[in-house]
């Protein structure tokens, strides 16, 4: 019997800046989903948050991109946003970009990761949710999980995984997809996904039977192709065990807190720190970027769980290393490569600064004529003077 897992998230406002979702907004969304469960629209759900993002994890029989399920998520976000507005929470309603819902939340603001499959006799899944980063942040860990035998022993020693996996990659700028096979095309795959701001892994399939193995929320980027759309704090669903990577193989890449784009003002590189739900809040420099992993069993469509997988001393060293990397990166202040390159920054004053200084730039060939005398006279060049 086919079941669909839909993880839909939105930032509908948070308490004390972009730090953390308020429990009353979680309660508001929960009421909407509980009613939908009672009516049978969804089979089961779990509502949670990571940082300032409200997360709806739902199971149902309606397939991927169902207008009914997307409409339900929209309704839950709207109710939560109303509470956020009443409480005067910060940036209340920020991701609900349109008042008119038209059957699909893609492109409106919420992020979506959905997969449909025939439930195995026992179906373990891991739901990842990150704050203060972008979907491309999953490129490195997903590569490790599904293509790197130094991470995933099963690629070498489990006959069901030995053929490898197919990676569906989205070119965010062109709005185009390409499917690459691992291990045959590893170097081509890496040539693309090593640029996570542009080439983003969207889905992964097991090669021997085309079973869906993983999906990442990249929808918003897809729909606004051709221009930079900023960060969209991402979520992902990964299936585990019995011919898919083991849960331990799925978590293993996060023992290395790799650098991801996001953090303060969506404009800085910082380490992705694996945390428990308890620590799923953003403080230091609005971060550092954090990721939570929840494990569930999907049983006849019901969500059994969750278990909070990073709530474990086994990830203490990764967290400690993340602090050290945060210290090191922060000491660069406003300098690249801590600050992102100009084309990827979410906030920038560069055009205004350039406009203000427009008349004070002189051609290099005119250096002797314009600049040198000014420096000799220890005068500041003012905006009134022009060099042509």
- Contact residues: ligand F6R, CB under 6 A: 17-18, 91, 132, 231, 264-266, 286
Cα 310 from Cα 289, distance rounded (Å):
14
Least spacing, CB of residue 19 vs ligand F6R, in Å: 9
Among 20, 79, 231, 281, the active-site one is: 231
Q: Determine the interface stretch with Mg ion among 141-149, 225-233, 311-319, 329-337 (rule: CB under 5 A).
A: 225-233
- 286 contact, one of Mg ion, ligand F6R, none, CB 5-8 Å limit per kind: ligand F6R
Least spacing, CB of residue 87 vs Mg ion, in Å: 15
**302 tagged catalytic:** no
Q: Is 78 in the site for Mg ion (CB under 5 A)?
A: no
Among 37, 65, 228, 308, the active-site one is: 228
Least spacing, CB of residue 80 vs ligand F6R, in Å: 17
Q: Is 198 in the site for Mg ion (CB under 5 A)?
A: no
- DSSP-assigned states of every residue in 234-275: -EEEEE-SBTB--HHHHHGGGGS--EEEETGGG-EEEE-EE-
Cα 35 from Cα 42, distance rounded (Å):
9
CB-nearer residue toward Mg ion: 51 or 271: 51
CB-nearer residue toward ligand F6R: 95 or 123: 95
- 17 contact, one of Mg ion, ligand F6R, none, CB 5-8 Å limit per kind: ligand F6R
CB-nearer residue toward ligand F6R: 147 or 325: 325
- Write the burial class of residue 228 (CB in 10 Å: 0-12 exposed, 13-18 middle, 19+ buried): middle
Q: Tokens 């929320």 appear where?
A: 217
**365 tagged catalytic:** no
| Nearest Cα to Cα of residue 135 among 323, 348, 315, 289 | 289
Least spacing, CB of residue 49 vs ligand F6R, in Å: 14
Structure tokens at 253: 């890449």
Please pick, from the candidates 131, 185, 219, 286, the single residue that binds Mg ion as defined by CB under 5 A.
Answer: 131
Number of H helices, E strands in the chain: 10, 15
**231 tagged catalytic:** yes
Q: Is 206 in the site for Mg ion (CB under 5 A)?
A: no
Q: Is 18 in the site for Mg ion (CB under 5 A)?
A: yes
Q: Is 232 in the site for Mg ion (CB under 5 A)?
A: no
CB-nearer residue toward ligand F6R: 219 or 286: 286
Which residues, 6 or more positions from 243, have their beta carbon under 8 angstroms from its beta carbon?
A: 158, 160, 161, 206, 211
- Among all residues, whose Cβ is closest to ligand F6R? 286
Cα 331 from Cα 351, distance rounded (Å):
25
Least spacing, CB of residue 128 vs ligand F6R, in Å: 18
Q: Where are the beta strands (DSSP E) in the chain?
A: 2-10, 44-50, 53-60, 111-118, 124-131, 165-171, 176-182, 199-206, 212-216, 235-239, 259-262, 268-271, 273-274, 290-299, 302-308
- 185 contact, one of Mg ion, ligand F6R, none, CB 5-8 Å limit per kind: none
Residues 256 and 277 sit within 8 Å (Cβ to Cβ)? no
Residues 233 and 131 sit within 8 Å (Cβ to Cβ)? yes
Least spacing, CB of residue 200 vs ligand F6R, in Å: 17
Structure tokens at 106: 């893609």
Which residues, 6 or more positions from 215, have their beta carbon under 8 angstroms from its beta carbon?
A: 113, 114, 115, 202, 203, 204, 236, 237
- Write the burial class of residue 333 (CB in 10 Å: 0-12 exposed, 13-18 middle, 19+ buried): exposed
CB-nearer residue toward ligand F6R: 91 or 371: 91
Among 11, 52, 53, 286, the active-site one is: 11
CB-nearer residue toward ligand F6R: 66 or 267: 267
End-to-end alpha carbon distance in the chain: 73
Least spacing, CB of residue 214 vs ligand F6R, in Å: 24
- 249 contact, one of Mg ion, ligand F6R, none, CB 5-8 Å limit per kind: none
Q: Is 233 in the site for Mg ion (CB under 5 A)?
A: yes
- 53 contact, one of Mg ion, ligand F6R, none, CB 5-8 Å limit per kind: Mg ion
Contact residues for Mg ion, defined by CB under 5 A: 11, 18, 51-53, 131, 233
Residue numbers annotated as active site: 11, 228, 231
């Amino acid at each position: 019997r086919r079941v669909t897992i839909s993880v839909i998230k939105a930032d509908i406002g948070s308490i004390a800046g972009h730090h953390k979702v308020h429990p009353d907004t979680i309660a508001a969304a929960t009421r909407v989903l509980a009613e939908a469960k009672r009516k049978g629209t969804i089979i089961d759900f779990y509502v949670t948050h990571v940082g300032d993002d409200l997360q709806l994890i739902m199971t149902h029989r309606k397939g991927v991109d169902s207008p009914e399920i997307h409409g339900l998520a929209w309704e839950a976000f709207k109710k939560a946003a109303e509470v956020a507005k009443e409480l005067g929470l910060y940036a209340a309603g920020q991701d609900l970009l349109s008042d008119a819902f038209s059957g699909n939340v893609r492109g409106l603001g919420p992020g979506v990761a959905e997969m449909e499959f025939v439930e195995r006799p026992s179906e373990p899944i891991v739901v990842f949710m990150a704050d203060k980063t972008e979907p491309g942040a999953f490129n490195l860990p997903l590569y490790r999980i599904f293509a790197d035998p130094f991470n995933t022993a099963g690629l070498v020693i489990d006959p069901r995984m030995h053929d490898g996996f197919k990676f569906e990659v989205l070119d965010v700028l062109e709005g185009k997809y390409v499917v690459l096979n691992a291990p045959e095309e590893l170097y081509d795959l890496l040539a693309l996904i090593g640029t996570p701001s542009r080439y983003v892994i969207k889905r992964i399939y097991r090669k021997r039977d085309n079973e869906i193995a993983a999906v990442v929320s990249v929808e918003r980027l897809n729909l606004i192709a051709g221009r930079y759309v900023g960060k969209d704090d991402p979520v992902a669903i990964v299936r585990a065990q019995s011919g898919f990577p083991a849960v331990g193989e799925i978590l293993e890449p996060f023992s290395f807190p790799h650098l991801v784009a996001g953090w303060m003002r969506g404009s800085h590189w910082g380490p992705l720190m694996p945390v428990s739900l308890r620590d799923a809040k953003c403080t230091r420099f609005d971060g550092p970027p954090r990721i939570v992993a929840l494990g569930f069993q999907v049983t006849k469509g019901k969500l059994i769980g969750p278990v909070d997988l990073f709530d474990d001393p086994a990830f203490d060293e990764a967290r400690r290393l993340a602090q050290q990397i945060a210290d090191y990166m922060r000491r660069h202040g406003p300098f690249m490569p801590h600050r992102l390159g100009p084309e990827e920054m979410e906030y920038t004053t560069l055009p205004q600064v350039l406009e203000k200084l427009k008349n004070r730039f002189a051609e290099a060939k005119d250096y002797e004529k314009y600049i040198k005398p000014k420096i000799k006279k220890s005068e500041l060049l003012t905006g009134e003077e022009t060099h042509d």
